[in-house]
Structure 1
Amino acid sequence: FDANGSCSQSDFSFLKELAALHPVMLEQPFPPRRLDLCWALKREFPQLRLCLDESITDMGDLITAHQLGALDELNLKPGRVGGQLTAVQMMEYCRETGIPLWVGGMFETGVGRLANLRVAARIPDAAAHDLSPSHRYFREDILIHPIQMDTDGYVHLNREAPAAINENAVERYLRQRIILEKR
């Protein structure tokens, strides 16, 4: 159940009902900066598994949430945390501390989806990842060979087809071009 930060402290009784369903994982129950509520919920209902998403934007957030005991899992979104370097650092931290994690996507073209898949491939023990082809959001991707999903929900990367940009598609959707030059 992904609450997308929509709960507040007044929802604890409802969340208690969810906790009684065993096993349940609640993703991002409270607004991103309310780790105090995640901690209070975990203290009151320790059997409830909390997965954080929007609350984790950098290593400091992850370490703080972990040290508070405010998370059990991490939905890692490479674009939200600043890219692949931070994503890999978070993966290593989770691996060292035993925090399960999986990769999720945001509103991204195929370029972002490929970056997410690269990170997800480094987490082979994840129960599942939340990744999908970009045609879920866009009629036409900017990749020449867009990412596809098979009928079983698997994403297969074509190793022979490079991750090349469809320049014609980029030009069609371009609204403004800004060129920065070093002087």
Structure 2
Amino acid sequence: MVDSSVIPIPLPGSTDLVLLLLAAFRSQSIASPIIFASCAFAGSVIGGYTTWAAGKKGGEAALDRLGKGRFVRRVQGWVKRNGMLSVALASLLPPPVPLMPFLLAAGALGLSRGRYLISYCIARAVRYGAVAWLGYKYGRQVINFWQEDLKGWSTPILVAYISLLVLGALYGIWNYRRGNKKGK
């Protein structure tokens, strides 16, 4: 849910990684990956809808909070011209493509709830279905490779990943507080 909401996550793609690992470890039957993909889909739809609703309620002022840079202008222009397509593509593409600005812009620029939900739900169902299938089909092989061929590197890679996650979270908190102080 958090991955698709306005709350920034320091490491994008965390949901995909967790879904891949769960599908790989619990892949005794096809039902497990389907359940995991359904849970990821449901959480993503709830989080994405809150982002769209925040944009709808905040209007273009919500977009101004994202900044005035070239990226924000390009997102706004793309969403104005290609409403449903922009939401669908941003929802399908893996990180580092940012999802939140597109969802916020879709709400702020008047994409209707029905059109938003259709494009977002179809794209997220395809994405999480594909991720779960990949985890189910190839996850064990990747885990075996990790355990056998990268045995000496497992701990440093995990420490680096967790360190980046913590540093990203701290940076996000610091940046949020700095922004609030400037606004006062």
**Would the TM-score normalized by the shorter structure come out above 0.5?**
no
Q: Which structure has more RCO (C-alpha within 8 Å, separation ≥ 6)?
A: 2
* Structure with the largest fraction of helix: 2
* Structure with the largest fraction of strand: 1
Q: What TM-score do you get using the length of structure 1 for normalisation?
A: 0.27
Q: What TM-score do you get using the length of structure 2 for normalisation?
A: 0.27
